[in-house]
Amino acid sequence: MQKKLMELKNLAEKKIQTAKDLQALKEIRVALLGKKGELTSVLRGMGKLSPKERPQIGALANKIRSQLEAWIEAKREELEEAKFVQQLATEKIDVTLPGAPITVGGVHPLQAVIEEVEDIFIGMGFEVAEGPEVETDKFNFEMMNFLKDHPARDMQDSFYITPEILLRTHTSGVQAREMLAKQGEVPLRIICPGKVYRRDQDDMTHSHQFMQIEGLAVDHNVTMSELKGVLLTFIHKVFGEETEVRLRPSFFPFVEPGMEVDIYDPQKGWLEILGAGMVHPRVLEKAGYNPERYTGFAFGLGVERIAMLKYGIDDIRHFYNNDLRFLRQFQSV
Ligand code: FA5
């Protein structure tokens, strides 16, 4: 038995030393030390030994096992090293190859307009507010003085989620939210940019999803002339000092008086960009402001319309098609 073990050891050493790669070494390990391996099968014969021989042979077998494991480990390290050296030699990097281009995105033109408008209004003392796109009927309509069966509700065909919840049709609901949050304190001056949704047919100037920026100022003695001054300052900053502006009377249930504002485009004529007016006393009252003491103005402008006029874009759908040929033109905006 002792002889058998020594033979096995000598043979195994040769096999290990001549293993040509890691896979071959792995197979040798299984053949020697695995459950059905050579060493294991020699040890199986131990039952036939005398009680005297058994501990001696057992100790020898353990020693051989450790020796084989050490040789295998040493060989494994050697083979791995050789593999690495070979990889370094064959996988040369060609530093003269041109690099993969990194594509840099740009600010979307609608975002660029929003940021420009925000800057202008922050400069006039307004703060930027936010409101939810999924809005309640209460804030979108009721608080804005649209009664349940008010015919004005037909003006804005809406995406309802439940009878009480809808995708907001305008950013005006934020007016009531901000007034309630401010709990009757003044001055209140906010603008709120965001997406709005309507069941409008998509065409060159209308989209079922578009962006608005709402504006609201509430204080003692806020006047129509202040509203006019704020809007003219904004329009002249965005479109240039020479831009002609027209204020037209119009109706919105949440303002009194109400108006629409057009600007003149030499190619297209007069174009409506926003609605505005003095906050209706009932809207102030519902949101916790005494209309005898406070007045306010509000406006809501269409971001796409502003961007179209500013950059000479003829079709609103370009903003939403994600065509890189269109978007790349604004990379430096
Ligand atoms: C409103 O939504 C009012 N909430 C605005 C307002 C706020 C009035 C505060 C008074 C006081 P209107 O439906 O007109 O109003 O929309 C405002 C602007 O959004 C329009 O001037 C236009 O620029 C833009 N707009 C309206 N419908 C669309 C559409 N389908 N696609 C793109 N832009 C639109």
CA–CA separation, 9 vs 3, rounded Å?
A: 10
Q: Specify if 216 maps to a domain.
A: yes
| Local structure of residue 243 (DSSP, 8 states) | -
Q: Specify if 272 maps to a domain.
A: yes
| Local structure of residue 255 (DSSP, 8 states) | E
Host domain of residue 287:
109-330
Whether residue 134 contacts residue 169, with contact meaning beta carbons closer than 8 Å, is answered with: no
Q: Specify if 100 maps to a domain.
A: no
In a shared domain, residues 129 and 38: no
Mark which of 90, 123, 156 sits at the end of a domain.
90
Could you tell which of 155, 192, 245, 252 is best to mutate to test the pocket of ligand 1, judged by most ligand atoms within 8 Å of the CB? 252
In a shared domain, residues 71 and 153: no
Whether residue 79 contacts residue 19, with contact meaning beta carbons closer than 8 Å, is answered with: yes
Give me ligand 1 centre to Cα 210, in Å: 9
DSSP string covering 291-304, please? Answer: TTT-EEEEEEEEHH
| Local structure of residue 226 (DSSP, 8 states) | H
Q: What is the pLDDT of residue 178?
A: 98
Q: Specify if 102 maps to a domain.
A: no
Q: Is the CB of 195 under 6 A from ligand 1?
A: no
Give me ligand 1 centre to Cα 290, in Å: 27
Could you tell which of 153, 154, 172 is best to mutate to test the pocket of ligand 1, judged by most ligand atoms within 8 Å of the CB? 172
Whether residue 120 contacts residue 301, with contact meaning beta carbons closer than 8 Å, is answered with: no
Of 121, 3, 118, the closest CA to residue 53 belongs to 3
In a shared domain, residues 12 and 126: no
Q: What is the pLDDT of residue 111?
A: 97
In a shared domain, residues 74 and 140: no
Distance between alpha carbon 236 and the CA centroid of its chain, in Å? 33
Q: Specify if 8 maps to a domain.
A: yes
Q: Is the CB of 37 under 6 A from ligand 1?
A: no
Q: Specify if 85 maps to a domain.
A: yes
- pTM confidence score: 0.73
Q: Is the CB of 317 under 6 A from ligand 1?
A: no
Q: What is the pLDDT tens value at each position of the chain, 333 positions in all?
A: 788 888 888 888 999 999 999 999 999 999 988 888 888 887 788 888 888 888 888 888 889 989 999 999 999 999 999 889 888 888 888 889 998 888 888 899 999 999 999 999 999 999 999 999 999 999 999 999 998 777 556 555 789 899 899 999 999 999 999 999 999 999 999 999 999 999 889 999 999 999 999 999 999 999 999 999 999 999 999 999 999 999 999 999 999 999 999 999 888 889 999 999 999 999 999 999 999 999 999 999 999 999 999 999 999 999 999 999 999 999 876
CA–CA separation, 222 vs 267, rounded Å?
A: 36
Please report, for the domain that includes residue 182, its CATH number: 3.30.930.10
Mark which of 90, 121, 151 sits at the end of a domain.
90
What pairs with residue 298 in β-bridges? 216, 277
Dihedral over Cα of 261, 239, 316, 140: its sign: negative
In a shared domain, residues 26 and 126: no
In a shared domain, residues 53 and 143: no
Distance between alpha carbon 99 and the CA centroid of its chain, in Å? 28
Give me ligand 1 centre to Cα 268, in Å: 19
Q: What is the pLDDT of residue 135?
A: 97
Whether residue 172 contacts residue 190, with contact meaning beta carbons closer than 8 Å, is answered with: no
Could you tell which of 117, 155, 210 is best to mutate to test the pocket of ligand 1, judged by most ligand atoms within 8 Å of the CB? 210
In a shared domain, residues 169 and 197: yes
In a shared domain, residues 161 and 80: no
Work out how many domains the chain is built from and give that number.
2
In a shared domain, residues 81 and 157: no
Q: Specify if 99 maps to a domain.
A: no
Q: Specify if 95 maps to a domain.
A: no
Whether residue 121 contacts residue 152, with contact meaning beta carbons closer than 8 Å, is answered with: no
Q: Is the CB of 307 under 6 A from ligand 1?
A: no
CA–CA separation, 284 vs 280, rounded Å?
A: 7
Mark which of 90, 121, 154 sits at the end of a domain.
90
235 Cβ contact list (under 8 Å, min separation 6): 243, 245, 261, 263, 273
In a shared domain, residues 54 and 177: no
In a shared domain, residues 178 and 211: yes
Q: Is the CB of 289 under 6 A from ligand 1?
A: no
Radius of gyration of the chain (CA): 40
Q: What is the pLDDT of residue 219?
A: 98
Q: What is the pLDDT of residue 129?
A: 98
On the CB side of 40, how many CA atoms lie within 13 Å of its CA? 9
Whether residue 105 contacts residue 322, with contact meaning beta carbons closer than 8 Å, is answered with: no
CB atoms within 10 A of CB 309: 18
CA–CA separation, 289 vs 172, rounded Å?
A: 17
Q: Which helix (H) or strand (E) holds 262?
A: strand 255-265
In a shared domain, residues 76 and 120: no
